[in-house]
Amino acid sequence: MTKRQGMRFRTAPRPEVRLTPGRHALGLLILCLPLLGACQRADAPAPAAGAATPAPGPGGPQQEFFDYRLTETAKGVRQWVLVSARMLKFAGREEVELNDVHMDFYRAGEHFSVLEADSGRVNPRTRAVHVWGAVDVTTNDGRRLQTEDLTFDNQTGRITNDVFNRFTRGTDVLTGIGLDATPDLEYVEIKREVAAEVLDVPAPGGQQP
């Protein structure tokens, strides 16, 4: 294990890694349908499946959905799809809370990476996503990012944080605090306390090259 500061390199066609320091009445009985939830903003996503169930008690969620799904497109082309096992909507909050988050990323309609996390929240209007817990981003070609907190900015298309990260690419492992990256992990910048570990792979037959 070696610790390095101010390290930058580019390998083609391999991804770049840059290291730097440092959501009326009828009869005697009156049944009132709640107004909340009767109307939905045109830009608010509808759940893919599941029934809305208001939670009892003050301070509880106004709405609860299961198998919640949110899809982002650009000019009709799918960019990413977020799925949550359970979504909670609270009064006075634009963001919604998520449990068991799964997020697939696409480029030109083709899938290239997946993000999974224990919990999170999303703003249905801005599409900003924040996840935490056991966060894992894995690309189709095997690159992997492991961390405990991550924010996805839908405007810039970047994933960022200010916590510990472990990035694995083949036999190379980079760790450190703070991250700026793209969801395909082709660009990864770990900001400080960087450590790099490169494992030698034995040549065929067990002999060293």
pLDDT in tens, 55-112: 444 567 888 989 999 999 999 999 999 999 999 999 999 999 999 999 999 999 999 9
| Tens-level pLDDT at each residue, the chain (209 residues) | 445 443 333 333 444 555 554 434 333 233 333 433 333 333 444 444 444 444 444 567 888 989 999 999 999 999 999 999 999 999 999 999 999 999 999 999 999 999 999 999 999 999 999 999 999 999 999 999 999 999 999 999 999 999 999 999 999 999 999 999 999 999 999 999 999 987 766 656 655 54
Question: Taking a C-beta distance cutoff of 8 angstroms, is the pair 42, 196 a contact?
Answer: no
Torsion of CA 172, 177, 180, 185, to 10 degrees: 20
Global confidence as pTM: 0.70
Per the listing, tokens 């499946």 go with 49
State the Cα–Cα distance between residues 110 and 79, nearest whole angstrom. Answer: 9
Give the distance from CA 29 to its chain's centroid: 48
Tell me which residue of 65, 61, 144, 71 sits closest to 99, measured CA to CA. Answer: 65
pLDDT of the residue at 58: 56
Report how many helices (DSSP H) and strands (DSSP E) the chain contains, helices first: 0, 12
Each domain of the chain, given as residue ranges in start order, spans: 43-152
| Backbone region of residue 132 per phi and psi (left: phi > 0; alpha: psi in -120 to 50; beta: other values) | beta
Q: Which residues contact 118 (CB under 8 A, 6 or more apart)?
A: 99, 100, 101, 131, 132, 133, 134, 135
Give the three-state DSSP class for 75.
coil
Question: Taking a C-beta distance cutoff of 8 angstroms, is the pair 85, 66 a contact?
Answer: yes
State the Cα–Cα distance between residues 121 and 132, nearest whole angstrom. Answer: 9
Per the listing, tokens 């799964």 go with 102
Q: Which two tokens stand for residue 82?
A: 């977020």
- DSSP annotation of 47 reads P
pLDDT of the residue at 206: 57
Tell me which residue of 154, 182, 188, 152 sits closest to 168, measured CA to CA. Answer: 188
State the Cα–Cα distance between residues 6 and 190, nearest whole angstrom. Answer: 10
Question: What CATH number has the domain spanning 43-152?
Answer: 2.60.450.10
Give the distance from CA 192 to its chain's centroid: 22
Q: Which two tokens stand for residue 92?
A: 């006075």
